[in-house]
Structure 1
Amino acid sequence: MENLPTPFPLLDHPELLVPMYVHSKESLDYAKNFPIQDGDVFSVTFPKSGTTWMQEILTLVTSNGDLSQVHTHPNWERVPWLEQNTAKGFLENRAAPRLVSTHLPYEYAPAQLSKGRGKVIYTARNPKDVTTSYYHFSKFAKFLQDPGDFDDFFNKMLHGTVYMCPWFKHIQGWLDHKDQMDMLYVTYEDMIMDLRGNVLRIAEFLGYDLNEGVLSTIVNHCTFSSMKDSKMVNYTLVPNKLMDHTTGKFMRKGKVGDWKNLFTVAQSEEFDRVYAEKMKGDDDVNFIWDINNST
């Protein structure tokens, strides 16, 4: 199988790692200087925090529940990544509302966001489950670094040497500037516990009044079981040179608390210590770490 380039550090910000195969200095400059239009909606996530889920929700909310796009166009075309090389081709000349995904830390995001342009939805997930999901994804995503064993990956996550890390800086960077932009903060865990209520929150934030029929259509489509079987969502359309589908699945479990199946007691305690140190003072950020449910 073809070997892809390893992630590279930006010359001016060596702490940020991005995979060269889908990013470039030019694509990151494009993201930073992206001209925001009225109606633009930005879905911001750290990797493995509900990005795909939010792409489906936004597609359906802004189309009043029309399922045609989600059955015919891959999510990366409907809600493309701003920082990737393909962004300009997807977003230039696109009619409003333009739906945009990004994993970028705040300092790399479009400068106009801090001036109140566009709308931002930041989706967060408890970082133990992020670490678990990210580890499994990295084992078959050929454009990412080899994760090694879980102990290696665990240490890389804590020390911020994985794509778009550190997690702590990512969430703090965005939430510290929330008052400078039109932002809605949601969590993966809240959406699992109350998908219908959170779809309504998102719709209201974007200015859409959904009737009960449309709301039910969106909620039924945006369950984990529905999305994992859709080729427009589950990334099985991505060629094997990018994702080795023989060794893993993009849509794996969609559960809260799966970290307990991978973390040792010592790792959990170490993570708790680092989390308490890094997130000290961020009293508004609270996570549910385990529930017996799935999307």
Structure 2
Amino acid sequence: MSSPKYIRYHGLLLPPSAHSMESLEFAQNFSVEDTDVFAVTYPKSGTIWMQEILPLVLSGGDLTPIQTIPNWDRVPWLEEKRLALIVDQLASPRALVTHFPYHLMPPSFLTSKAKVIYVMRNPKDIVVSSYYFHQMAQFLEDPGTFDEFMEKFLEGRVLFGKWTDHVKSWRHAELGDRIMYITYEEMVQDLPAVLRRISDFLGRNLSEDTIHKIAEHCSFKTMKANSMSNFSLVPKLYMDSDKSPFLRKGVAGDWKNHFNSEQLARFTSVIYKELEGESFSLPWSLD
């Protein structure tokens, strides 16, 4: 794809509205601290949700960050232009998000004790969510038909490449107890249970009252109404919410409303083939 809408970085397609060669170099030279916490996702897998959850867990339930700071500044992307502008304002322990595969993380990350929460989502729901996002994000290519976009997704001609490559890179990351794996579906099903796991993983020992308070403020309904979290502050020039809201549904299983039987058969056969022989199993069936 030679579209001017994207820049290429180690074979990955990135939108220049948020990324530049300077921001990617800044990410590579970024000095990761032992207390840093990274939420790692493939795009449309729960990134915005983690930008809401992490400040609340790390602050013991203090609502100030999520009510006063836009999500892209409270938990910035490692690879985006914005980080260099606000990095000095981040209080320790710092929370960051990234879509990078494991092998593109900065050298200082590998030698640090920084922790990672890797969020996986059913790729069938990712492709649906991404399809709608491409319709409303003016800085991305028009997705074409759902069938055309699904093919692009399977071939990795989308932001941050193939989903299977991303998952494999992080499932094979040798980080020991520095990494925990959760799924978007678990968060939808029982957010307090996931918050307890995150709290334990980050050594926060939050009370049940605090867990439930955080869960309430991280509900889809609350986030959709929070201007610091719903991307309504982004000019229409970049995101046209009339075409599709940024926070669209926040559910698991919406793919059933979009895939026909032929698309489903093709999608699952390609994904399963690319994960053939892997030592990890997927947390959900793709059929």
The TM-score bracket by the shorter chain reads over 0.9
Kindly report which structure 2 residues correspond to 1:1-295, keeping only aligned pairs within 5 A, or say none: 6-10=5-9, 13=10, 15-92=11-88, 94-179=90-175, 182-288=178-284
Q: CA deviation at 1:127?
A: 0.3
1:184 aligned counterpart, secondary structure: strand
Report if aligned partners of 1:117, 1:181 keep a CA contact under 8 Å in 2.
no
Aligned equivalent of 1:293: none
Quickly say closer, same or farther: Cα 1:285–1:90, change in 2 above 3 A: farther
Report if aligned partners of 1:116, 1:181 keep a CA contact under 8 Å in 2.
no
For structure 2, list consecutive stretches of 5 or more residues without a partner in the other structure: none
Report if aligned partners of 2:227, 2:233 keep a CA contact under 8 Å in 1.
yes
What TM-score, normalized by structure 2, do the two folds share?
Answer: 0.94
Letter in 2 for 1:40: D
Report if aligned partners of 2:116, 2:180 keep a CA contact under 8 Å in 1.
yes
Q: Deviations over 1:1-45 (max 9, x none)?
A: xxx9501223xx3x2101112111111111122111121111110
Letter in 1 for 2:119: T
Report if aligned partners of 2:33, 2:112 keep a CA contact under 8 Å in 1.
no
What TM-score, normalized by structure 1, do the two folds share?
Answer: 0.92
- Identity, % of aligned pairs? 43
1:139 aligned counterpart, secondary structure: helix
Q: CA deviation at 1:113?
A: 2.5
Measured on the aligned residues, the alpha-carbon RMSD in Å equals: 1.7
Q: CA deviation at 1:281?
A: 2.6
Tell me how far apart the structure 1 counterparts of residues 156 and 199 of structure 2 sit (CA, whole Å).
Answer: 34
Tell me how far apart the structure 2 counterparts of residues 56 and 199 of structure 1 sit (CA, whole Å).
Answer: 12
Q: Deviations over 1:128-177 (max 9, x none)?
A: 00000000011011121211111111000000000111111011111111
Q: Mean alpha-carbon deviation: is it higher for 128-137 or for 112-121? A: 112-121
Letter in 2 for 1:109: M
Report if aligned partners of 2:171, 2:280 keep a CA contact under 8 Å in 1.
no
Q: CA deviation at 1:207?
A: 0.8
Q: CA deviation at 1:247?
A: 1.0
Report if aligned partners of 1:79, 1:101 keep a CA contact under 8 Å in 2.
yes
Tell me how far apart the structure 1 counterparts of residues 105 and 275 of structure 2 sit (CA, whole Å).
Answer: 22
Q: Mean alpha-carbon deviation: is it higher for 67-76 or for 43-52? A: 67-76
Report if aligned partners of 1:16, 1:163 keep a CA contact under 8 Å in 2.
yes
Report if aligned partners of 1:41, 1:97 keep a CA contact under 8 Å in 2.
yes
Tell me how far apart the structure 1 counterparts of residues 176 and 212 of structure 2 sit (CA, whole Å).
Answer: 34
Q: CA deviation at 1:246?
A: 1.7
For structure 1, list consecutive stretches of 5 or more residues without a partner in the other structure: 291-295
1:92 aligned counterpart, secondary structure: helix
Tell me how far apart the structure 1 counterparts of residues 27 and 80 of structure 2 sit (CA, whole Å).
Answer: 8
Flag as ranges the 4+ runs of structure 1 deviating above 6 A. Answer: none
